[in-house]
Amino acid sequence: MGADTIDLVIDARRRELGPGMTVARTLPYRLRRLVGPFVFADIMGPFEFAPGTGIDVPPHPHIGLATVTLLFEGTVLHRDSLGTVQRVRPGDVNWMTAGRGIVHSERTPPDLRGSGGRVHGLQTWVALPRESEQCAPDFEHRDVEELPFRDVGGAQLRVLIGDYSGLSSPVTVSSPLVQADLRLDDGASHRVTPDHEELAVQLISGKVAIGDDVFSDRQLVVLVPGSAPRLRAVDGPAHAVILGGEPLEGPRHIRWNFVASDLALIERAEGLWRENRLGRIAGESDRVPLPD
């Protein structure tokens, strides 16, 4: 493995979220809790749903983070305690700032449930800077057409959030970071721009060569700070997401859906959720209980 470019390779672990919903999780990891401010990364599916079924993630809470929902296939309906009702299509970005507390649900839209179909995507969590952990919750959606895009020599790059390689997303973020979608035709390549101190390459599908090493199977390849390796698709097209940013000012605690620099904030949020006082979604009465 190229010691001058690759710091760590994390193999995805399977996690069951519910019937028919298995995710591939790369962050957090025992040897690497964060990459920049990113504390969590789940590849969702692809899920195959029969007619009459779909995704059903009931109302659940978050604090101290921003969630980034990105779909590659399918459509999901986001609803939250701010009153937001938003469809997410492939390539769109949902940036939900939890701050001191928000509740949201994710479901297949009722009008699409009858036909079934596939859902495939990536959900990441971005830990907020300490001064923003208790900010007011907020929500921002951007359609795929609003996000900056570049296609050079069979390498299609779209910057979803933050800044990278001269492209800037319009999404309002809380700290310097990037999450960019990269599609490579067979044999095409992209040289990583070391715009941020910490960067990683999340493989979604296909195979990518970095020097003499080849990565696949949804691995997360954490790069050496300052390195600028060339990513090249081999044995067919490849799909990856580049993510990372500047390190936070200190470590973060993660417990269930809560992220904070101070455990007391998590304990407070747990108490509020038990008492159903973190927020409610109009028209939804079910909720995910606090784990034992």
Specify the pLDDT at position 178.
Answer: 98
What per-residue confidence (pLDDT) applies to 19? 63
- Mean pLDDT in residue range 103-110: 96
Residue 212: CA atoms inside 13 Å, Cβ hemisphere, count?
4
Q: What is the mean pLDDT of the chain?
A: 95
Spatial contact of 5 and 230, defined as CB atoms under 8 Å apart? no
C-alpha separations of 123 from 95, 262, 281 in Å:
10, 24, 21
Helix (H, G, I), strand (E, B) or coil at 131: helix
What would the mean pLDDT of 179-202 be, rounded to a whole number?
A: 98
* Residue burial 190-229, b: 16+ Cβ < 10 Å; e: rest: bebbbbbebbbbbbbbbbbbbeeeebeebbbbbbbeeeeb
- Look at residue 248 in the predicted model and tell me its pLDDT: 97
Q: Is residue 104 a contact partner of residue 81, using CB atoms and an 8 Å limit?
A: yes
Q: Is the pLDDT of residue 6 over 70?
A: yes
Task: Give the pLDDT confidence score for residue 1 in this predicted structure.
Answer: 59
pLDDT at 260 over 80: yes
Q: Which position has the higher pLDDT, 255 or 292?
A: 255
Per-residue model confidence as pLDDT tens digits over 58-106 = 999 999 999 999 999 999 999 999 999 999 999 999 999 999 999 999 9
Residue 2 pLDDT = 64
Q: Report the largest interatomic distance among the alpha carbons of the chain, rounded to a whole angstrom.
A: 55
Q: What pLDDT band is residue 116 in, cutting at 50, 70 and 90?
A: confident
